[in-house]
Structure formats: C-alpha cells, structure tokens
Structure 1
Amino acid sequence: MSQSDAAFDLHAPAVHARSSPFGIPTKKLAMWLFIIADAATFAGCLVAYGFLRNGTPNWPTPFKTPTVVNAGVMTFVLITSSLTILLGVRDAKLARKSQSLRWINITAVLGIIFAILHIREWFGMISEGVTLAHNPWGSALFGSAFFSITGLHLTHVAGGVVALLAVGWRYRGGRYNSDDIEILGLYWHFVDLVWMFVVPFVYLMNVAH
C-alpha cells in the first residue's frame, strides 16, 4: 500500500451502521423488535396473573409496610438507573467516552443493587415458607405467580447488567460506538418500564388491609 493510500485510509470516515429497509439501523430495528416481543410476553404474564388473582378465592394479601418500602427503594434505584444510562447515551453522542463509561458503570452498579434487594426479599419470603409450590398465607398459586413474574424481570435485569459491562468494555476498546450505547439504553429503559407495571400488579394489589 502506498503512503497516499495509507493516508486516505487513516482519514476515511467511520463506517456507519447498516440501515434496514425501514430507514433505521439494523441493530436498532432488531432491538425494537425484541422489545415489542418481550413486552407482549410481560403483558401476557400480567394479564394472566390478573385473571388468576381474581379467580382464586383464597388469594392472600400478605405484603406489609417493609415489603412496600423495599419495593419503593427498588423502584427508586431503577428510575435513577434510567437517568444514568440516559446521561451515558448523551455523553456517547457528544464523543465524551470517559464520561459515558462512568455513567454506564454506575448504571450497572445500580442494577446490581436492585438485584441484591430483590434476592434478599426472595430469601425473606422463602424463610416464611413461600415457595413455587407452597404458601402458608393462602393459595400456593401466589408463590408461583410472584416468583415467576419477578424472576422473569430479574433475569432481564441481570442480562442487562452483563450487557452494560460487555458493551462498555467493547466501547472502551473502540469496537462499539455511540449507536451501540443508544441501543443498550433502549433495552435498559424497557426493563425499567416493565418494573413500573410489575409493582402495582404484584406488590400494591397484594398489600395487607
């Protein structure tokens, strides 16, 4: 390769993400399709939960103030993480890589805090005898529904934390760009939004009177 060719390669513009026939980058379209499909899954679970709850005569309402407070703290953590990933996307778009990475890492830490709070809650319920197949407060279906829905969401949070760390690492090394950070942000906002529906359905509707 000649020196002139090398100079041209050094100054060549970065290759942009491939666009889909719909006019948006292929990876972003794939993420939106995933979000739509996953939203349908969660919606189906919550609707089924509603029918199950209304159709079960001895459905318990066991949650007291500590559980509600814990759910509130978890909600605050996720709302804060939505803000931090938003700042991470903004800084990535402004080519402020170090600041963006800082916000991405903070978001991952908040996701881990959420998971710890959730698992601690699970262990507390299990210690009281609530499992997938048993519930001392009433219908055993309560435990099955609670652990299934919150477990599905927690799996998404855990996957999101792994994605935050992996994408952040590749972004630091120059293999990912601001578009990838934006796509990561879409997923994280979706996970946070789902929680806003889980809380009233699974927690607030089961507060002890």
Structure 2
Amino acid sequence: MATHAATTPGLAEAPTFHLEEDHHPEGSTMLGFWIYLMSDCLIFAVLFATYAVLGRNYAAGPSPKDLFELPLVALNTSMLLLSSITYGFAMLEMEKERVDTTLMWLAVTGLFGLGFLGIELYEFAHLIHEGATPQRSGFLSAFFTL
C-alpha cells in the first residue's frame, strides 16, 4: 500500500510501502523438513542394506580386518561425535545471544570437522595406495559408496 503526503507545495514525500509478512500454514515447513529427513534415512537404509549384502564379497581381495586400523577409526568416530557436541554448545550460546562464545564453539566444531575430513582423506588415500579400490570387490565398492 502506498501513501502520498505533501508537506510543502510542489514537493511530494516519497511513497511509503508496508509489506505484510507471508503467512504459512502452521507446520508446513516442518512437514517439508520431515519429508527430507525420512528420504535421507531411506537412502542410507538402502546403502547399508547393499553393504550388508556385499560386505562379505571380498573376491579374493582384502577383508576389513586387513584394511582398517581400529585406533584410527575410533579417533575419527570421536572427532565426529565431539563436533556434534560442540555444535550443540554453539546453538545453546546462540539462544542466549552470546555471539563471541557462539563463534568460538563453531570454530571448535570446524576444527573437529577438518580433523575428521583429514583422517578420512588419509584413510582413502592409504586404501587406494594398498590397491583396495572400489573396482576390487563388492565389499570395497559398497564401502566406498557408503
């Protein structure tokens, strides 16, 4: 809606526009979020089912016992879990409108994420160097896909 008002003769005040917020039905964005989340769950369920079927098909190639270093896997899992915790701390600080501590927790989360990605890249490079590529067996194909 535009309104015009003249304060002095010959000069008109700039039109003023008032925008009304869009009204969405209650829960419409939540429905979309849940559809997205469930589709993601279905995709991962199919990938894990594929891994379960192909997980024992080594084709005379290396098995998981031959490839994975459990201490490194544990460290990587810890990094992932700790990044989730620090992100939660950041969200709590954000709700309290504490910008500096929110940014600090997000930076810590980013460092854990970078550490996780670094270990993943090292593991993949090591596996490929050892000849454990997705083309080698059904197990490795399913592993790399997951």
Give the TM bin, normalised by the shorter chain: 0.7 to 0.9
Residues matched between the structures, number: 126
Q: Which has the larger radius of gyration?
A: 2
Please state which structure has a larger fraction of its residues in helix: 1
Residue in structure 2 matched with residue 74 of structure 1 by the alignment = 76
The reply on whether 1:119 has 2:121 as its aligned counterpart is yes
Select which of 144, 147, 172 maps to 2:144.
147
The structure with the largest strand share of the pair is 2
Aligned-partner residue type, residue 132 of structure 1: P
Q: How does 1:22-171 map to 2 (within 5 A)?
A: 22=27, 26=29, 29-54=31-56, 56=57, 58=59, 60-63=62-65, 67-134=69-136, 140-149=137-146
Unaligned runs of 5+ in 1: 1-14, 135-139, 150-209
CA distance in 2, matches of 1:133, 1:65: 16
Q: 1:20 to 1:73 in 2, by over 3 A?
A: farther
How many angstroms apart in 1 are the aligned matches of 2:142 and 2:72?
19
Determine if contact 1:20/1:29 at 8 Å carries over to the other structure: no
> Per the alignment, do residues 84 and 143 of structure 1 end up closer, same or farther by CA in structure 2, a change over 3 Å counting?
same
Separation in 2, partners of 1:71, 1:130: 17
Hey, what's the Cα distance between the residues in 1 that align with 2:26 and 2:84?
A: 30
1:70 maps to amino acid: L
- Identical-residue share of aligned pairs (%): 25
Correspondence for 1:5: none
Let me know the Cα RMSD of the aligned residues: 2.7
Distance 1:35 1:105, change over 3 A: farther
